[in-house]
A and B are shown apart, each in its own frame.
Chain A
Amino acid sequence: MSALRAILVNSLLTAGLYATMSYGLAVIYGVMRIINLAHAGILMLGAYVTLTLNVRFGIDPLVSLVLVIPLFFGFGVVLYVLLVKPLPQSAGGASIESLLLLFGVWLVLQNLAYAIWSGDIQSIMTGYTMRSVSVLGVRVGLPGLAVFAVSAASLVVLEATLRWTYLGRAIRAVTQNRDAALLSGINADRISAVAFGIGSAFAGAAGSLLAMLYAFTPDFGRSFLLKAFCIIVLAGMESVSGVAAGAFVLALLENVIGGYTAIPTSFQDALSFSLLVVALVAFPQGILGAFGAWTGRRRKLA
């Protein structure tokens, strides 16, 4: 019983982090139908910027979010204007050109990190890194709890923005139907730039949070990128509210496999990556979409 409770609490904590690192990917995909492979690079860069702020200026990783979020918002907008916008627009569907272009950006970012911070393994230590507290009778690390709180807060802010502001409504309109949004006078180009900014800001923030929990190198980010893909695929690619559900499913699965089966932890990532493929093939509309299909609602992927 207590083992089950531990798994649920840990899954929930992991899910918050996973959702934060997946939101950016989902927003960019929704608005532009672009699969942002540079997401992994931005996650990694967010971790390194947080490290530098911590080591050089003694800024706490949680406080550094105040700087990291606007910084990466700007980075995303510049990335969109300089590289993504000049690409020929493809009619509907995600384009392989934008995927490869952003793949190139990822490689450049990785090299940038090697050049600035070298390939050594880095980690961030704070006064509370080793502290733990009891939640529902389960001992959890204080950083994990703090990360969850920040994740939950940022998700609430994003949901509120999408639901109740003009910007949010415009983003949702472009996500649902770009042409119809253009017809109703939305500047889809500006919305795309903002969406790229939001996507990068979330990736950068997720990088800061990951840096509090894991050691990292410039190569860091690939496995998290694949997990984020797995989550947005489970969420149905464009449903921002489904991301939290997808994140919980993946986190639960990982924790159950780690806690109840004899499968060694070194294989855990292999299972998450296989789940990505299974989810892509079996649930092209996401978990929620798969339920929707029973009630007769069907959408076609790409």
Chain B
Amino acid sequence: MSLLRRSARFLVWPVAAFAVLAAAGPALLSRGALNDVWNTAFAVILASSWNILGGFAGQISIGYSAFVGIGAYTTVLLALAGINPYLTLPIGALLAALFSYVVGLPTFRLRGPYFTIATIGVSEAVRVFASGVSFTGGSSGVRMPAGSFDFVRNYSAMVLLAVIVVALSAWIKASPFGRALSAIRQDIDAAEALGVHAAKYKLAAHALSAALVALAGGLFAINFQYISPGSVFDFRLSLTIVLMPIVGGLGTVTGPVLGAILFSYLQIKMLSIPSLRDSYLFLYGGMLILVMLFEPKGLVGLLARLRRAPSAPSPARPVSHAD
């Protein structure tokens, strides 16, 4: 009960906002605005799901595009075989969880940065493989079977999934599972000494976040009707998935949501401002450098610092790395 109440505190806000968007959006907003909300919801799912492993458990994986790709390709290939696209979503999620398990079993023996390097290796291997084999359509990609496509339905599913993922992530953070992941992040040796089965928890967090990301990948494929290895297995996609939670606030519930909103906003702006599109790597890299140097807790840490700061003007304090 107290667990429910504690997680409820985090939730009221986003759940209310998204419920309104999901229910009233299609009636009130223009198609363009709906598209922006769709993109934001997609980003929120990717960021918050990644954060379960990367933030809560501290295992930084730069290879999540593999799971987006598995979800998207499962949906398209099964839809081509005549199955209702929405029914294929759980199959994609299952396959992604399975793949995350197979990959995690050896790589979770590695710690910290070594794990990160291994994830780059795995996802690049997957990308090269996917561009070379024929069932992915090679570099030309594959198209969904022609049929009636309902954007509002896809939109509702995406927004609903975003609400579920954020709620789940808040619930996990407050649960014993979340506390075990947090113990692993802080000191894996101490956690294991206290009886936390680190490998089991890491695999579970990996599988859960992979499955959620694959669901979003499936919805992505249904919406765009066309996918290729270059669009869903892209390194830049992995990069954005990592950056959103880090810039927003690693290991928090609100951080990835803030990061996702910021990055979606930037992406929308990029479409209209060419100079921004040409310098997005400056922007992404610069944000990453600034966060690492000055505010490892990201936007969430920045907001907390602003709130703490006294209203009277005071001399600038040096940045403390102690906490």
On A, residues with C-beta under 8 Å from B are: 35, 83, 86-88, 93-101, 103-112, 114-115, 222-223, 226, 229-230, 264, 266-267, 269-271, 273-274, 276-277, 280-281, 301-302
Contacts and interface: CB of A to CB of B under 8 A. Distances in A.
Interface size range on B against A: 35 or more
Interface in B208-235: 235
Given A86-B293, A110-B281, A96 B116 contact: yes
B125 A270 contact: yes
Contacts of A35: 113, 116-117
Contact of B124 (A110, A111, A226): A226
Contacts of B289: 83, 101, 104-105, 108
A277 B106 contact: yes
B145 interface: no
Contacts, number: 133
Contacts of A108: 281-282, 285-286, 289
B128 A273 contact: yes
A93 B131 contact: no
Contacts of A264: 132
B321 A88 contact: yes
Contacts of B321: 88
**Prevailing SS type, chain B contact patch:** helix
A271 B125 CA distance: 7
Interface of B: 58, 60, 62, 106-107, 109-114, 116-118, 120-122, 124-126, 128-129, 131-132, 235, 239, 246, 278-282, 284-289, 292-293, 296, 321
B140 to A, nearest CB: 15
B286 A277 contact: no
B121 A277 contact: yes
B111 A267 contact: no
12 contacts: A96-B112, A97-B296, A100-B288, A101-B292, A101-B293, A104-B286, A222-B124, A270-B126, A273-B128, A276-B117, A277-B118, A280-B114
Contacts of B124: 222-223, 226, 269-270, 273
Nearest to B286: A108
Contact of B132 (A93, A100, A110, A267): A267
